[in-house]
Amino acid sequence: MNIDDLKTHKFVTECWNDSMGMRRKHKELGIDPMSDSVNELEFYTYRVGHALAHLLTWIEQLQEAPTYLADFNYSGKARKSGITRARYLLYTVENYLIRLQSIYDRCLQLTNCVFHLCIEDSNVGHSLVVSNLQVSRTDIPSHLKRVRKAVAGKQSDRNKIVHQASYQEKELDRLLLFYIYDESTWDEAQSGTPFKNLAIMRSQLLRKVVAEKRSEFEAINTELFEAIGLLLDKFLPHYRKHVKKVSTYVSAT
């Protein structure tokens, strides 16, 4: 499963149709959808659509991450600014690991909106959402757990990057050391190795590290996107239920 599959998921298309239909109506009437003039059904629909859009954007970025690993422009401004291939690789790896852990938070935000819990965005967290009776009495917590499990293996890496130090891995660390030197700073006499040999060696190591990381990230994404797809399956009936429920409130006013 990939981002294109998720974008055409029944839950996604139904939310999009509801949200965009109301958006067109409000645009014609000159109404700001985030103002107090919208009714509760419109508020609910927009909130779900907003949370869903941000989840899909995050998924899209995770899917693109393996491509970024190998997409370094050697003749571009990055290289002219002194950014080496190894530093670019480190940046893309760290960026992926940080974003990977945030995907679960996006799923919690969407859960908050689908179940119309109305928890303030800044207060949305695992315990507060899954312990809510509306959520805990369903099978949603087990599917959230599956999403969390898909990213759990990299949680400590993310925490170290954010709170302690740069991402460290033996082969990547070696690569960073190799790229400290260029032809003008490499001492062939002292090292006993011509610079061209160093260039060949680090190029081979670079291809190896990129291939391994790309394979690793693609495997994580496959498991994660499958878990999210199953979560969206479970969201659909709850979304329909709340649309119907909130519609009743609006009709009664």
pTM: 0.89
Helices 195-252, 140-152: inter-axial angle, 10-degree rounding:
170
Summarised one tens digit per residue, pLDDT across range 164-185 is: 999 999 999 999 999 998 888 8
Question: How many Cβ atoms from other residues are within 10 Å of residue 235's Cβ?
Answer: 26
Confidence at 203, pLDDT banded by 50, 70, 90:
very high
* Domain span including residue 196: 3-252
Q: Report CA 38 to chain centroid distance, whole Å.
A: 30
Give the helix, strand, coil percentages of the chain, each rounded to 5: 75, 0, 25
The yes-or-no verdict on residue 253 having pLDDT over 70 is: no
Place of tokens 């899954």: 130
Please state the domain count of the chain: 1
Rounded Cα–Cα distance for residues 70 and 118 (Å): 42
Start-to-end CA span in the chain (Å): 43
Residues 206, 85 contacting (CB under 8 angstroms) = yes
Residues 111, 242 contacting (CB under 8 angstroms) = no
